[in-house]
Amino acid sequence: MKTLKRIALVAHDNRKKDLLEWVTFNKMKLRKHLITCTGTTGKLVEDELNRNVNGHPLDVHRLLSGPLGGDQQLGALIAEGKIDIVIFFWDPMAAQPHDVDVKALLRLTVLYNVVTAMNRTTADFVITSPIFHEEYDIKVKDYSEYLNRKI
């Protein structure tokens, strides 16, 4: 993981306000990194990151909405090694039409040892960690035995 982090920000509808408050509080730190978001969260985050900031506007890479394939798009980016950190404010009190996609996404974050925060406290710990601003060597399990197994 390089000093410039590739951060995915995701929020279910009932948690978008919470994520935006967190983004507002951490705006200057986040603007130094590459941001990817699913669905409407991307537009909200981009607007917030560029609000009242002098300098060039920050472009947020926006994927599809989660239920329309955005979770799978993000999962593919994780599998390709293109995401370093996932901040996912999910709603544990509401059933989601794409729960299986969310579970698959979270499985990939574990499989590829991606830093994952699913609530504000954990996100705060991640973004304030001294190693957040440094290069970090992620240890990913070697799956070559699995890939090369006899079928």
- List strands edge to edge, sheet with 34-37: 61-62, 34-37, 6-11, 85-89, 115-117
Enter the DSSP assignment of 51: T
Over the stretch 10-65, which tens digit does the pLDDT of each residue have?
999 999 999 999 999 999 999 999 999 999 999 999 999 998 887 788 889 999 99
Domains of the chain with CATH codes: 6-147 (3.40.50.1380)
pLDDT band of 85, cuts 50, 70, 90: very high
Catalytic residues: 71
pTM for this structure?
0.92
Cα angle 91, 86, 90 (rounded to 5 degrees) comes to: 0
